[in-house]
């Protein structure tokens, strides 16, 4: 493995972590009920890429 691949994997991991934290924040801040939030959190954590995409398109919106 070259250094470039190792650095790219770290960068992708960091991007995923930021997106995951962003999604979790928005789920928790939404006005939805506890069970609905819990289900979305489980979806996002269990299915990493698909869960983030689903949350972005169909997930609860943050309350304002």
Give this prediction's pTM: 0.73
Q: Please give the pLDDT value at position 63.
A: 54
Assess contact for 27 and 37: CB atoms under 8 A.
yes
Least confident of 4-18, 21-35, 41-55: 4-18
Question: What is the number of other CB atoms lying within 10 angstroms of the CB of residue 10?
Answer: 10
Q: How many H helices and E strands in the chain?
A: 3, 0
pLDDT averaged over every residue in the chain = 82
What band does 8 get if pLDDT is binned at 50, 70 and 90?
low
Q: Where are the domains of the chain?
A: 3-58
Dist CA 62 CA 44 (whole Å): 16
Q: In which band, very low, low, confident or very high, does the pLDDT at 60 lie, cut at 50, 70 and 90?
A: confident
């Amino acid at each position: 493995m070259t250094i470039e691949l190792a650095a790219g994997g770290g960068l992708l991991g960091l991007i995923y972590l930021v997106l995951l934290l962003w999604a979790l924040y928005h789920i928790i801040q939404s006005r939805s009920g506890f069970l609905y939030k819990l289900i979305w959190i489980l979806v996002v954590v269990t299915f990493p890429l698909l869960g983030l995409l689903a949350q972005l398109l169909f997930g609860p919106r943050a309350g304002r």
